[in-house]
Structure 1
Amino acid sequence: MQETGEIDAVAARVYRLRVIHPTDTVEQISARAGITPQETLEAESRLSALGLLRPSPSGGQVAVSPETAADTLLAPMEQDILQRRIAMAATRARLHALSGDYLEARSMRSAKSSIEIVQGTDNARAVIDDLVRTCSESLDALVPGSGLGEVAVRAAISNDREMLERGVKMRSLFQHSARKNRAQVRHVAVLTDAGAQVRSTTVLPSRMAIYDRSCAVLPLDPERGGAGAAVIRDPTVLNFLQQLFEHYWDRALDFSEEEQRDGPEPNEVERDVLLLMAAGKKDEAIAHQLGMSPRSVSRIVARLMERLGAESRFQAGARAALNGWLSDD
């Protein structure tokens, strides 16, 4: 049994015959088509439902052109779509009319307090979503812990790609433990392929995101302030937070770079750096002598001090000597 309105081979054959023989009876059409009268009636019913057949005053069925049938059948639908579009446009216009109020209120909020406390996870997420949407130049982020989970990664990838596509320079700093998180490793691969810079380090002080170097977001202490975020626009505090980010960034490894912190002895380059450190050389002098960049030297020094558990360059040199790392043997 065919559904009403379906055009199969039988219905198409009946339609053609009705175009040629509009005054034929059902029996005559059946004979011409080689089908039973019942099949003819069912086909004509489907064609009539689509507006392709109309009763003829002189008997029989008159075939209507597909274009005319489509105009008649779809006119109510098109009218409904038009009305919906008009309603959507009116709603959009009413919402857009509030844009000026929103921007004015937002600027007043920023001017009123350079450090804003946003209580509640949902409210904090709304603020962050707004910052992500309006970010146009840079995003520097510290992500402590073992990285994001599967759900968080899926949610982040879309926003990250959209930001990178519109030219935002993104730097993300994770802890080394995130390298063991498969979801996070996939996320990093997507970021780097899209042009982001990603590094990792041993310890990070807190989650932090700095948008366009003009606004930073820090999480509230759950034990003191509850869930939420601190939104910071104060230039002095922002400058400190940016320097804090650069401090950890300069001493971090590229996320894909092999970590060298568990080896019992330094490699050749690290030993050369240790010898010059023990001689009292600064990073710039070491870099010049070894033909390296000062940033690379700073990162090697930071890794060596971490491996030695040293809090100063002098202490690192002393412990390296006690370990026999500076001997010629």
Structure 2
Amino acid sequence: MSECERELYRHIADGGLVHRHTPELDKLLALGLVIREPLQEGRYLLVPAGRVARRLLKTESDALGQSVARIAEIPALIADLRSMNPREEPRGEMAVQWLDGVDAVNEAIATAVDAATTEILAAQPGERPRTVLEKSMFRDADALRRGAAMRTLYHVSARSNPAVRQRVDVMSPLGGAYRTRSAMFMRCVVMDRRFAVVADHAEGRPVTAGGYVVRSPAICAFIADSFELEWTRAEDWYADPSEEGIVTTQIQRTILRMLHSGHDQQQAASLLGYSTKTVNTHLRRLCRDLGFATVYQLMAWWGSPAASAERELD
């Protein structure tokens, strides 16, 4: 928002009237930050910030979902175009190429990481075995020492994985940045915005079957921008302890939202990739912190005005 728009917003917040249309007023209306009061000329009302946040997040999430869907269609489209034009002369390395098997994909990623000079982005929504994490740790540490920036996005369930926690503890002091999201996201790795690996979203083949290697700078930049959108919605691995009055963690809030939507603990655990024991441990810990004896009391609190600030987080 511009300073003029902020000034108009503060004027409306203080109860002031607005008797003429201005570009600033049109902007506030278009963003859904204010609405007209139909019973009084010149009176405008502020839309609650929580409602604005939910609407904007949904709009951006929908846009991101459409972007991911378009990205997933690109490899199949290129392959289809080539199948209809067999006389096309390949020019150097293919812009989009399918690699069979997880070993071939890992080898391609390792080679690209070794050559990366500026930036490495990794979005890993699934389980990562300890052997894979340990094997890549030395390689990634070398990239950080060379001066490459490295950011990794995990699903929130990774916080309970000892191997992932160990990796974060080791790599963070070297300059690696780590965040987690409670929602699922697209698996991808991007190096220098000129080389990327993505899972098969076109035909739905599992990660173990292989992946698409992308060498087109334009497509790689688009994938990187999609990563950026997910990154801005994620929570730092080492959360800022300065938030006063917040009693829930991101994991606990995710579980509470699933229970509130009608799932039981076992269903929530299955959907989030946890064990039922892990879910119950988080719930018991939160009950203890709040002084509740049962999950029923906890859920009553979660749906009450007392927890409104917690529900607005994430």
TM-score range, shorter chain: 0.3 to 0.5
Structure with higher RCO (Cα < 8 A, 6+ apart): 2
Calculate the TM-score normalised by the size of structure 2: 0.46
Greater Rg by CA: 1
Calculate the TM-score normalised by the size of structure 1: 0.44
